[in-house]
A and B are shown apart, each in its own frame.
Chain A
Amino acid sequence: MPGGKSKGTSQRNAWVLHIALVALSFLFLFPLLWMISTALKVEAETMRQPPTWIPTDFQWVNFAKAFTYGRAELGYIPFLIYGRNTLILCALTVAGAVLSNAIVAYAFARMRWPGRDLFFAITLATMMVPFPVTMVPVYGLFRSLGWIGTFRPLWVPAWFGSAFSIFLLRQFFRTLPFELSEAARIDGCSEWQIFRQIILPLSKPALAVVALFTFMGTWNDFLQPLIYLQYQHTFTLSVGLQAFQTQHGGTQWSMLMAAATMVVAPVIAIFFFAQKQFIQGIAVTGLKG
């Protein structure tokens, strides 16, 4: 606590602050804890009054049940298939986003061409365009290509760049010393060699942020898979979970929470591995915007 007060007061303030933060921490954590607690109960226990926080009999089998597909216990989420679909899409969008956005951002950040700055300003402005405005013509486009019901509408666009990632990488590329490029040019390097051999290796932190945000975007996306996917065996986790909820919502809460836990867990695991990239990525895009 900044301030010219006595040591006693500031120590007391620190205690008050900690107590408030611990209370708030509980408020922020309790929904997640409740999700896990419900996921581990037998169905009957989820409706017990008063509710129990620690399940009387841990039902780890709930997670396994969500993996089974086409079994007699109809309606359980074919989580394995949905998870595989989601991972395929994530891999394709991350690969495309890292590659194409890096090349495009390089052109915006470190090359001279007429109309560059105007086009960049327009690119930034497109971040304001809400998806519902372009949704119908884009759907029509994919329909005329015969792509409805396939994965293609969900990953092909990622290979053509996105304004947000271009912006993020351009900001980073511009912080690298331009003398590096000049020296390489004098040595006879082509623009592609400079990009590939000098700039890219130095940009791993920024590329990691783009990969991370693209992965999160694909993993979380709901509206687009809902529009384009038609068959249950092509569903992503988001669409699959929603389909399960409409069929069995209000009855099988422990199964639903087991499935939700498995959708949340990988994201949280990735966060703990890449905490620095997350925090820095968010801070940079929020502050330099």
Chain B
Amino acid sequence: MKARKTEAWTAVLFASPWIIGFSVFLLYPLLASIYYSFCDYSVLRSPVWIGLANYRDLIKDEVFWKTLWNTGLYAMMALPLGVLVAFALALMLNAKIRGLTIYRTIFFLPSLVPQVALSVLWLWIFNGEYGILNNALGFLHFGGIPIMGHHFLAFQFHGPNWLGDPSWSKPALVLLSAWGVGNAMVIYLAGLQDVPQSLYEAADLDGAGWWAKTRNITIPMLSPVILFNLIMGIIGTLQVFAVPYVMSPSGSPARSIYFYTMYIFDNAFMYQKMGYACAMGWIMFVIILLLTLGAIKLSDRHVHYENS
């Protein structure tokens, strides 16, 4: 009995860095953040209780809705595309081909590029005047069929001014995000390699084709992994900050890439409205919680867990 007690105390001693870290850097800030969200607070003055005023102001704040909309729209484009690209690449690499490690390395490399370097690089690629992307797209042209002086069906593909055009700036960021799916691809590939070969052999005996096997074996077996990645994707995508901030701290053009976390950052550190920023932070947290719970609920029907 005494030995048990000593062990428990030793264990708490071992765990103490995290007990302190958890309390100081997570629990306290979380609770303080709720409190501040009901306060008028800037770092220069101590917080003053103002009740729900921050939340009431938020409802009337057009910029708040704009950033929420931008972030939601971006997530709805980037998340499915990310899953699709990562999964497709993993499927291709799982086909037992030669040179697997080389291809895997190539597809993985972009996900290693630090966010600021990534943004600077794509600013250059997307550049409307000298950007290599529009130069490459410019090769897509067709002289047309000359009939009586007219050139029928002629076209010249002009790339948009990606980051200078409010209707193309978000798709540009989505495209950029698809370039960095290497992490998810590695996870899916590892998951694919864990699928028991016997399942495929059994399907072969039934004469199942490639698509039937993918649909009925691969996807169900990988559904927990996909769900986990989707949840981490939701959490990450809703916090998108570095890339749009480097491209344009004010989210230009026309605030089309002004995202939620950028507005929190500006409220906290530019306008000194820290209570307001905390209220926005909590709204984001609740949205993430609801979306995650929703994803898990939905998955009850579609996700297959092997041991249950």
Contacts and interface: CB of A to CB of B under 8 A. Distances in A.
Given A111-B7, A238-B116, A279-B186, A132 B284 contact: yes
A92 interface: no
A201 interface: no
A203 interface: no
Nearest to B235: A128
Contacts of B18: 100, 104, 123, 160-161, 166
B107 interface: yes
A256 B114 contact: no
A4 interface: yes
A250 B128 CA distance: 11
Contact of B179 (A20, A28, A123, A271): A28
Contacts of B89: 24
Given A31-B125, A257-B121, A242 B246 contact: yes
Interface string A1-24: 111100000000010011011001
Contact of B17 (A159, A260, A263): A159
A79 interface: no
A111 B11 contact: yes
Contacts, number: 290
A172 interface: no
A191 B3 CA distance: 12
B216 interface: no
A18 B125 CA distance: 27
A177 interface: no
A30 B264 CA distance: 35
Contacts of B36: 136-137
Contact of A282 (B25, B187, B207): B187
Interface stretch (A44-52, A55-63, A67-75): A44-52
Contacts of A256: 120, 124
Interface string A141-157: 10100000000000001
Given A133-B33, A135-B268, A246-B249, A271 B106 contact: no
Contact of B285 (A112, A129, A237, A249): A129
B288 interface: yes
B117 A264 contact: yes
B123 A35 contact: no
Contacts of B282: 133
Nearest to A161: B18
Q: Which of B29, B95, B186, B232 is the most central at the interface, judged by chain A CB atoms within 10 Å of its CB?
A: B29
Nearest to B32: A137
User: Binding site of B, secondary structure by majority: helix, strand, loop or mixed?
Assistant: helix
Contacts of A126: 22, 26
Interface string A81-104: 000000000000000000010011
Given A4-B207, A128-B288, A113 B21 contact: no
Nearest to B269: A227
Contact of B92 (A4, A17, A264): A17
A128 B285 CA distance: 8
Interface string B273-297: 0100110111011001100100000
Contacts of B135: 49-51
Nearest to A216: B112
A161 B15 CA distance: 9
Interface string A249-278: 110010011011001100110010001001
Interface size classification for chain A: 35 or more
B112 A253 contact: no
A35 B113 CA distance: 12
Nearest to B113: A264
A11 B89 CA distance: 20
Interface string B136-173: 00000000000000000000000000000000000000
A141 B36 CA distance: 13
A47 B129 CA distance: 8
Contact of A31 (B93, B122, B232): B122
Interface string A24-38: 110011111011001
Contacts of A180: none
B304 to A, nearest CB: 15
Contact of A3 (B122, B210, B274, B278): B210
A80 interface: no
B112 A271 contact: yes
8 nearest interchain CB pairs? A160-B21, A286-B187, A283-B190, A134-B29, A107-B14, A161-B18, A137-B32, A137-B29
Interface of B: 4, 7-8, 10-12, 14-15, 17-18, 20-22, 24-26, 28-30, 32-33, 36, 41, 43, 89, 92-93, 95-97, 99, 103-110, 112-117, 119-125, 127, 129-130, 132, 135, 179, 183-184, 186-187, 189-191, 194, 200, 204, 207, 209-210, 213, 225, 228-229, 232, 235, 238-239, 241-242, 245-246, 249, 260-261, 264-265, 268-269, 274, 277-278, 280-282, 284-285, 288-289, 292
